[in-house]
Amino acid sequence: MSKFDFPPSIKSRPVYGTLTAREGNGHLFIADAHGAEAILDVATPEMMANAHIIYIPRGESFGDKLRALNPAQYYEGPSYAASVTRIQRVLQDAKMGLQVYLTGTEGLMGQAQNEAMQAGIPHTAIQTEHRGSVARRMQCVHCKGITEDVETDPFVCSHCGLNLFVRDHYSRRLAAYQGVCIDAEDPGNVPAAKGIYE
Amino acid sequence: MSAAPQKAKAGAERIDVTVSAVVPLNDLVTRFEFQRRDGADFPPFSGGAHTVVEMKDGDRSRLNPYSLMSDPADLSTYAISVRRDDQGRGGSLYMHNNVSQGDDMVITYPVNLFSLDLRAKKHVFLAGGIGITPFMAMIEQLERSNGNWELHYSVRSADLGTYTDVLTYKYPNKVHVYIDDQNQAIDLETLLDGQPLGTHAYVCGPKGMIDWVHATGSKMGWPDENVHSEEFLAPAPGEPFEVRLCKSDKTITVGENESLLEAIERAGVDAPFLCRGGSCGQCETDVVASDGEFIHRDHWLEEEDHASGKKIMPCVSRFIGKQLELDR
Ligand code: FES
């Protein structure tokens, strides 16, 4: 899948890079869906000898290819929620020198980055590469509920039902963009939903 | 620049103090303790902070930064420990030879450019010689909050191991002393290897030691943000040079043994500063015109800035050449 070029935006919006191999005593890869392709691009046998891959396929079938890289440890989880305790455990036992590589959707990278930061890695030292869906993880600023995989702007909050405008204002702590009621002044006056980057 | 309130004079605010004790610790190092002349408490500080001590040395006024090494919880006293440097520019010699108990002095409010990262899961301190001083305050601060720390302290000889006695007595399991002339050395790779994720390392000592810790850390995959260092540069002597201060409309000559900042101050021009050691960024000055070569020694400017010839840090950097004009 080709990579998407996010349009330039406000400072709050995360920017993603391209994974590169770094020196370290261990390599932790956390990826979902098409993020597998970024791992396949960067992997070397030396890295894989000390690598732990945590992969959430989300319907994609890269699992066999990743396994064929022969990482020291490989785990495939059905969802991020199902994998997060493993991620926390791996980080809790990890030593300085561990390199963290996050790739796939923004929601996956944001949440995994949060775990890595809480474990003591500065966010600037965590590598990310966006692949696959450009859907966003959104927080409703009104009810605080999170709606995953939002593809359109505006969208309806899956918790309180308000019509929300998709902002580029991002919270690293919540790993979510902010959604703000679009028809507060004039209830019912909601523009037609379109793709976030259309 | 931040919107700090306009101050009457450059540098941090001054405090009038009396020297309450002068305690020689070994052949080279003496501790100086200060109390406020107005009897009030000192402002609170955090481990790693320094104060700038003003010395009236004849008609020359010296301003030298020293790490506060007293317990941050005790605000009745500030203490610094000064290593005598016989080859230095004279500040430490002045302290050793001219300052005695009961003297009045002026020091500045504390400024911290080397603070603990309190998000750290563990703090590893690496000290070389007199580089122990900021860690003395950091250790007391962490002990109060039950912080997780260890100290690796390298000294030239057992006799010159300033504070090794108190430290090993109080914290026998956390303090590791390495004595140079007994061929003991910090095994840095082994030490950094296997530290828990979220460990921060702090190094204070000679430049070679600082570079060694940064280089070994990055080789072992430590993020730069987790390796902290402090090195106060003393301004280096050099060939005298002439400088035109455009805003003040003055032309001055920087002497061999003074810094550009000191020469500017001597001419009665109030120039900003905090650390006087090339690390805080406060003294950054724009170059209006130049014909010659800059000797940049600071840790503040980016390499591009150094190469551009458009900026200089007058507290530590110099110039060789025909002409230098500053926006000051
Ligand atoms: S006074 Fe701090 S860098 Fe010059």
- Number of other residues whose CB lies within 10 A of the CB of residue B104: 10
State the smallest CA–CA distance between residue B219 and chain A in angstroms. Answer: 7
Query: How are beta strands A194-195 and A152-153 bridged, if at all?
Result: antiparallel
Separation between Cα atoms, residue A146 and residue A165, nearest integer Å: 14
> Which atom from ligand 1 is nearest to the alpha carbon of B299?
3
Token output for B227: 């390796």
Pick the residue from chain B with its C-alpha nearest to A97: B221
High-pLDDT (> 70) share of chain A, % = 99
User: Which of A23, A95, A122 shows the shortest C-beta gap to B225?
Assistant: A122
pLDDT value at residue A163 = 97
High-pLDDT (> 90) share of chain A, % = 97
- Residue identifier of the C-alpha nearest atom 3 of ligand 1: B278
Are residue B197 and residue B253 in the same domain, yes or no?
A: no
Are residue B108 and residue B126 in the same domain, yes or no?
A: no
Which residue among B52, B273, B299 is best mutated to probe the pocket of ligand 1, counting the most ligand atoms within 8 A of its Cβ? B273
- Confidence grade of residue B1 (pLDDT, cut at 50, 70, 90): very low
Q: Does B216 touch chain A (CB under 8 A)?
A: no
Chain A partners within 8 Å of B194 (Cβ): 95-96
- Which of the listed residues B163, B197, B230 is the one where a domain comes to its end? B230
- Does the pLDDT of residue B48 top 80, yes or no? yes
User: Which of A25, A94, A122 shows the shortest C-beta gap to B223?
Assistant: A122
- Confidence grade of residue B257 (pLDDT, cut at 50, 70, 90): confident
In a domain? residue B290: yes
Are residue B253 and residue B290 in the same domain, yes or no?
A: yes
Q: Does A25 touch chain B (CB under 8 A)?
A: yes
In a domain? residue B148: yes
Contact A94, B194 (CB under 8 A): no
- Confidence grade of residue B11 (pLDDT, cut at 50, 70, 90): confident
Token output for B255: 């002497």
pLDDT value at residue B162 = 97
Please indicate whether, in this complex, the C-beta atoms of B193 and A95 are within 8 angstroms of each other: yes
Inter-chain Cβ pairs, chain A and chain B, closer than 8 A: 60
Contact B202, B150 (CB under 8 A): no
In the reported structure, the alpha carbon of residue B170 is separated from the centroid of ligand 1 by a whole-number distance in angstroms of 36
Which residues pair with residue A45 across a beta bridge?
Answer: none
Pick the residue from chain B with its C-alpha nearest to A100: B221
Q: List all residues 6 or more positions away from A118 whose beta carbon is below 8 Å from its beta carbon.
A: A91
Separation between Cα atoms, residue B290 and residue A16, nearest integer Å: 41
Are residue B58 and residue B149 in the same domain, yes or no?
A: no
Which of A68-72, A179-183, B57-61, B68-72 is the least confident region?
B57-61
In a domain? residue B235: no
Residue B139 lies in domain: 122-230
Are residue B141 and residue B103 in the same domain, yes or no?
A: no
Strands (DSSP E) contained in chain A are 26-32, 51-56, 73-76, 98-104, 127-130, 136-140, 146-150, 152-153, 155-156, 163-171, 176-181, 194-195
Angle at CA B259, nearest 5°, toward B253 and B260?
55
Separation between Cα atoms, residue B236 and residue A27, nearest integer Å: 44
pLDDT value at residue B60 = 80
pLDDT value at residue A2 = 64
- Confidence grade of residue B234 (pLDDT, cut at 50, 70, 90): confident
> Which atom from ligand 1 is nearest to the alpha carbon of B274?
1
How do residues A104-133 score in pLDDT, each as one tens digit? 999 999 999 999 999 999 999 999 999 999
- Does the pLDDT of residue B2 top 60, yes or no? no
How do residues B133-182 score in pLDDT, each as one tens digit? 999 999 999 999 999 999 999 999 999 999 999 999 999 999 999 999 99
Tally of domains within chain B? 3
Chain A partners within 8 Å of B222 (Cβ): 96-97
In a domain? residue B1: no
Q: List all residues 6 or more positions away from B138 whose beta carbon is below 8 Å from its beta carbon.
A: B47, B48, B116, B123, B125, B149, B202
Token output for B138: 């950091």
Packing angle of the helix pair A106-118, A80-93 (nearest 10 deg):
30
Q: Does B35 touch chain A (CB under 8 A)?
A: no
More confident residue, B207 or B36: B36
Domain boundaries, chain A: 26-130, 136-184
User: Which residue, among A188, A185, A186, A194, has the nearest Cα to A155 in the 3D structure?
Assistant: A194
- Does the pLDDT of residue B4 top 60, yes or no? no
Task: Fill in the amino acid letter for B7.
Answer: K
Q: Could you give the 3-state DSSP secondary structure of residue A112? A: helix
User: Which residue, among A27, A8, A28, A1, has the nearest Cα to A105 in the 3D structure?
Assistant: A1
Token output for B229: 């260092």
Domain of B223: which CATH number? Answer: 3.40.50.80
Domain of B275: which CATH number? Answer: 3.10.20.30
- Number of other residues whose CB lies within 10 A of the CB of residue B8: 7
How do residues A132-175 score in pLDDT, each as one tens digit? 999 999 999 999 999 999 999 999 999 999 999 999 999 999 99
Pick the residue from chain A with its C-alpha nearest to B121: A120
User: Which of A22, A91, A124 shows the shortest C-beta gap to B197?
Assistant: A91
In a domain? residue B179: yes
In this prediction, residues B85-109 reach a mean pLDDT of 92
CATH class of A26-130: alpha beta
pLDDT value at residue B210 = 95
What are the Cα distances from residue A179, in Å, to A16, A108, A137, A193, B58?
21, 18, 10, 14, 67
Please indicate whether, in this complex, the C-beta atoms of A120 and B222 are within 8 angstroms of each other: no
ipTM of the complex: 0.88
